[in-house]
């Protein structure tokens, strides 16, 4: 593309103008709702209700945020989500490597059969109810394990990891270490793992975001509120509109209560997304890398 | 699948190392081959156990779709009833409505969602200002990380009939406020376009990758021949994107019947149920959320869906193989 730096023709200049316009339009459409939500969350409740907020905050206040943090379930939801995300991701990464490494080895007898067993589950599944019954039969219902074990391995990530192993770990390395008397366990631990930093980071990120954002397994498997992850708490407040009256305790009048309820929702949207948005600029390039690795067949 | 000629070629040359398995002039027995790599079986055993427990056991359990499953009797003890549950589903008055909703919703999102990431990638590819490019990418990727729950929360807030921003705008123009979420006809569009809003940036990454792998010499040659940017886009970039675009289309078609179940479930309300009920939400409701749960009936519907999905995936892949070089396997 640098080669066009000579001199642009008329049609090319028009093209460039249109191109930038289209992109700016994309940008605005995507950005506006985000900015609006943030602005509304720190605006005065009455202004939000009256529709005075357009782009920037009106009469800034932190009422919504104080209401959010006074909510008992939100704290436990946060704690649970962090726990599920950390533990779940650890299990995911370990399982993915355990499956991907043998499948990446050429001398793994029965490799194709195993690979088929894995890939087939991507195309066909027993379904929601049979899976639920298995979780129930294993006695995992309403336990922390129900949030971790049923999704312990994502086949797609496993395939990506396997491709990475196949393409970046040379066979010569394995041969040399075997000559030196290194067995497969040791090889995975002291050679494969240290060489796989990028892929481990990428799949860990994918898994972690998945855990943080998931609500459906919690909806299916958990009964007690004390185990609820943040997303399920959010669902009750944002979608089902069940705002606990006790948290609005010091606001007497109905009108104000109504306003605070709206404000709380905006603040909640921001609070729930902030952890991801804080790390987002740092991890964005890894996600891009992950997609790239996934898209290129090894 | 990886036993290509080059690989074996390399293995033969590295004969000196007894550790490699493909060093197999004398063809050792399978048992010997297995023994040599027994540690790999140990490694993969945990994932295999997971697979058996949480993937294959449910497939085995799916037989309750052909039985009258009674919890106390278990899967084995319950009696066979053949295709009763399937027939009941096919004959129920809900059947056509659910199927139609599922198919139109997925076709709509497939058709509407397909061109935008490509358009975005093509546009981005011609931006020479690095900073502008970076910021467009950064911002368009961001919604991807918002959870479904929050996403639906945002939709509900923006479209709120009383104080959502969209209705505020309508009122400004002297129009009546609209209860968007309560009008069945609007459900699909809200679902699809909010989905595009959320995923367009992230889906374009894969096309950007494809574009960056196009040989720059093609572009240079085209410039020398006096091609305009638009012509280069049409004759170089678009053909370069075709293989990956087709693979994406196949992948999406294979999952046609699993429309974003989690989002649909969240966006549903009694008012828009007529157009928002899809197979997955119906399975969930019949099997888990209703007062009188019916595991067998619900499993039958789920199994029906899985089967259609599998058939679609295989069929689309076959068609792609015939008409084009690119296919999934």
Reported as a single tens digit per residue, the pLDDT across A54-64 is 778 778 777 77
pLDDT at A147 (0 to 100): 92
pLDDT at A6 (0 to 100): 55
pLDDT at A38 (0 to 100): 87
pLDDT at A57 (0 to 100): 79
Residue B67 forms beta bridges with which residues? B80
* pLDDT score of A1 more than 60: no
Whether B145 and A273 lie within 8 Å, measured CB to CB: yes
- How many Cβ atoms sit within 10 Å of the Cβ of residue A29? 13
Confidence band, pLDDT 50/70/90 cuts, at residue B12: very low
Cβ atoms B214, B238 nearer than 8 A? no
Contact list, B228 vs chain A (CB under 8 Å): 9, 11-12, 15
pLDDT at A93 (0 to 100): 96
Three-state DSSP class for residue B146:
coil
Min Cα–Cα distance to chain A from B93, Å: 22
* Higher-pLDDT residue of B295, A64: B295
- HEC string of B37-101 equals CHHHHHHHHHHHHHHHHHHHHHHHHHHHHHECCCCCCHHHHCCECCCHHHHHHHHCCCHHHHHHH
* Mean pLDDT, rounded, for B59-84: 83
Distance of CA A6 to the CA centre of its chain: 44
Confidence band, pLDDT 50/70/90 cuts, at residue B10: very low
How large a percentage of chain A has pLDDT more than 90?
22
pLDDT at A5 (0 to 100): 52
Question: What pTM was computed for the model?
Answer: 0.83
Mutation to test the A interface, candidates B57, B59, B153, most A Cβ within 10 Å: B153
CA B246 to CA B320: how far, in whole Å? 8
Q: Which residue of A has its CA nearest to B251?
A: A123
How large a percentage of chain B has pLDDT more than 70?
88
Q: Which residues are CB-neighbours of B137 under 8 A, at least 6 positions away?
A: B124, B201
* pLDDT score of A191 more than 80: yes
Distance of CA A22 to the CA centre of its chain: 29
Cβ atoms B259, B109 nearer than 8 A? yes
Contact list, B17 vs chain A (CB under 8 Å): 175-176, 178-179
pLDDT at B4 (0 to 100): 40
Min Cα–Cα distance to chain B from A109, Å: 6
- How many Cβ atoms sit within 10 Å of the Cβ of residue B219? 19
Contact list, B163 vs chain A (CB under 8 Å): 48-51, 262
* pLDDT score of B28 more than 60: yes
- How many Cβ atoms sit within 10 Å of the Cβ of residue B93? 6
* CB neighbour class for B82 (10 Å; exposed up to 12, middle 13-18, buried from 19): exposed
Confidence band, pLDDT 50/70/90 cuts, at residue A256: low
CA A73 to CA A275: how far, in whole Å? 17
Fold of A63-298: MetI-like fold (1.10.3720)
* pLDDT score of B85 more than 70: yes
CA B5 to CA B10: how far, in whole Å? 9
CA A222 to CA A233: how far, in whole Å? 12
CA angle (B270 as vertex; B179, B65 as ends), nearest 5: 145
Min Cα–Cα distance to chain A from B43, Å: 5
* pLDDT score of A246 more than 70: no
Span B266-276, pLDDT tens digits? 888 888 888 88
CA A219 to CA A216: how far, in whole Å? 5
The mean predicted confidence, pLDDT, of chain B is 81
Mutation to test the A interface, candidates B78, B147, B197, most A Cβ within 10 Å: B147
CA A118 to CA A115: how far, in whole Å? 5
Longest dimension (CA), chain A: 80
How large a percentage of chain A has pLDDT more than 70?
90
Q: Which residue of B has its CA nearest to A184?
A: B39
Confidence band, pLDDT 50/70/90 cuts, at residue B325: low
CA B22 to CA A93: how far, in whole Å? 29
- Alpha-carbon separation of residue B76 from A136, A138, B85 (angstroms): 16, 17, 18
* Higher-pLDDT residue of A204, B78: A204
Q: What secondary structure letter does DSSP report for B159?
A: T
Contact list, B168 vs chain A (CB under 8 Å): 51
* Mean pLDDT, rounded, for B189-200: 91
* Mean pLDDT, rounded, for B198-205: 87
pLDDT at B5 (0 to 100): 40
Of A37, A62, A277, which is closest to residue B159 (Cα–Cα)? A37
Q: What secondary structure letter does DSSP report for B328?
A: -
* pLDDT score of A249 more than 60: no
Min Cα–Cα distance to chain B from A84, Å: 15
Whether A27 and B136 lie within 8 Å, measured CB to CB: yes
* CB neighbour class for B96 (10 Å; exposed up to 12, middle 13-18, buried from 19): exposed
**Comparing A16-20, A86-90, B226-230, which segment has the lowest mean pLDDT?**
B226-230
- Alpha-carbon separation of residue B100 from A2, B148, B187, B311 (angstroms): 50, 24, 14, 18
* pLDDT score of B156 more than 80: yes
Cβ atoms A243, A72 nearer than 8 A? no
* pLDDT score of B154 more than 80: yes
* Mean pLDDT, rounded, for A41-52: 77
Of A2, A150, A33, which is closest to residue A84 (Cα–Cα)? A150
Contact list, A129 vs chain B (CB under 8 Å): 64, 283, 287-288, 295, 298-299, 302
Whether B302 and A130 lie within 8 Å, measured CB to CB: yes
Whether B142 and A114 lie within 8 Å, measured CB to CB: no
pLDDT at A245 (0 to 100): 52
* pLDDT score of A296 more than 60: no
- HEC string of chain A equals CHHHHCCCCHHHHHHHHHHHHHHHHHHHHHHHHHHHHHHHHCCCHHHHHCCCCCCCCCCCCCHHHHHHHHCHHHHHHHHHHHHHHHHHHHHHHHHHHHHHHHHHCCCCCCHHHHHHHHHHHHHCCCCHHHHHHHHHHCCCCCCHHHHCCCCCCCHHHHHHHHHHHHHHCCHHHHHHHHHCCCCHHHHHHHHHHHHCHHHHHHHHHHHHHHHHHCCHHHHHHCCCHHHCCHHHHHHHHHHCCCCCHHHHCCCCCHHHHHHHHHHHHHHHHHHHHHHHHHHHHHHHHHHHHHHHHHHCCC
pLDDT at A298 (0 to 100): 34
For the ranges A8-12, B232-236, B243-247, the one whose mean pLDDT is highest: B232-236
pLDDT at B316 (0 to 100): 79
pLDDT at B14 (0 to 100): 42
CA atoms within 13 A on the CB side of B293: 12
* pLDDT score of B120 more than 70: yes
Of A282, A277, A85, A151, which is closest to residue B51 (Cα–Cα)? A151
* pLDDT score of A231 more than 50: yes
CA B171 to CA B178: how far, in whole Å? 10
Min Cα–Cα distance to chain B from A161, Å: 14
* Higher-pLDDT residue of B136, A288: B136
Confidence band, pLDDT 50/70/90 cuts, at residue A9: confident
């Amino acid at each position: 593309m640098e080669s066009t730096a000579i001199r642009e023709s008329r049609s090319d200049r028009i093209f460039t103008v249109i191109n930038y316009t289209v992109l700016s339009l994309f940008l605005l459409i995507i950005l506006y709702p985000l900015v609006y939500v943030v602005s509304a969350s720190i605006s005065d409740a009455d202004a939000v209700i009256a529709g005075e907020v357009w782009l920037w905050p009106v009469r800034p206040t932190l009422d919504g945020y104080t209401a959010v943090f006074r909510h008992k379930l939100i704290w436990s939801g946060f704690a649970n989500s962090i726990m599920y995300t950390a533990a779940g991701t650890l299990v995911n990464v370990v399982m993915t490597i355990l499956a991907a490494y043998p499948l990446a080895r050429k001398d793994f007898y029965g490799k194709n059969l195993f690979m088929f067993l894995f890939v087939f589950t991507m195309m066909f599944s027993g379904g929601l109810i049979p899976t639920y019954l298995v979780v129930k039969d294993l006695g995992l219902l309403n336990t922390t394990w129900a949030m971790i074990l049923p999704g312990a391995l994502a086949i797609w990530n496993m395939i990506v990891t396997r491709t990475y192993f196949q393409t970046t770990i040379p066979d010569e390395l394995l041969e040399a270490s075997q000559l030196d008397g290194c067995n497969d366990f040791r090889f995975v631990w002291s050679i494969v793992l240290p060489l796989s930093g990028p892929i481990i980071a990428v799949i860990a990120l994918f898994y972690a975001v998945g855990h943080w954002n998931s609500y459906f397994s919690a909806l299916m498997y958990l009964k007690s509120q004390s185990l609820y992850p943040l997303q399920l708490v959010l669902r009750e407040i944002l979608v089902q509109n069940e705002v606990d009256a006790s948290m609005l305790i010091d606001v007497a009048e109905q009108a104000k209560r109504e306003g605070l309820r709206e404000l709380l929702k905006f603040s909640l949207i921001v609070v729930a997304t902030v952890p991801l948005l804080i790390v987002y600029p740092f991890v964005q390039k890894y996600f891009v890398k992950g997609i790239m690795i996934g898209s290129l067949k090894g | 699948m990886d036993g290509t000629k080059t690989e074996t070629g390399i293995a033969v040359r590295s004969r000196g190392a007894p550790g490699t398995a493909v060093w197999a002039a004398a063809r050792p027995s399978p048992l010997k081959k297995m023994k040599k790599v027994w540690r790999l079986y140990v490694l993969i055993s945990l994932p295999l156990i997971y697979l058996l427990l949480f993937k294959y056991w449910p497939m085995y359990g799916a037989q309750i779709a052909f039985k009258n499953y009674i919890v106390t009797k278990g899967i084995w003890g319950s009696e066979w009833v053949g295709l009763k549950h399937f027939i009941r589903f096919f004959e129920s008055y809900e059947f056509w409505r659910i199927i139609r909703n599922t198919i139109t919703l997925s076709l709509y999102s497939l058709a509407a969602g397909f061109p935008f990431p490509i358009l975005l990638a093509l546009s981005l590819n011609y931006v020479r200002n690095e900073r502008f490019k970076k910021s467009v990418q950064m911002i368009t990727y961001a919604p991807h990380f918002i959870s479904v729950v929050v996403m639906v929360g945002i939709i509900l807030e923006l479209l709120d009939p009383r104080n959502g921003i969209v209705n505020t705008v309508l009122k400004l123009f002297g129009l009546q406020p609209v209860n968007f979420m309560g009008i069945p006809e609007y459900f699909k569009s809200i679902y699809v376009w909010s989905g595009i809003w959320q995923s367009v940036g992230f889906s374009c990454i894969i096309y950007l990758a494809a574009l960056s792998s196009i040989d720059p010499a093609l572009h240079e040659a085209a410039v020398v021949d006096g091609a305009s940017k638009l012509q280069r886009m049409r004759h170089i970039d678009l053909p370069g994107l075709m293989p990956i675009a087709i693979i994406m289309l196949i992948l999406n078609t294979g999952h046609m019947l699993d429309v974003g179940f989690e989002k649909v479930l969240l966006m549903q309300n009694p008012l828009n149920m007529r157009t928002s009920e899809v197979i997955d939400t119906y399975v969930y409701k019949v099997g888990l959320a209703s007062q009188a749960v019916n595991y067998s009936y619900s499993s039958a519907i789920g199994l029906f869906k899985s089967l259609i999905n599998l058939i679609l995936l295989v069929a689309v892949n076959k068609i792609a193989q015939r008409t084009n070089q690119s296919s999934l396997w």
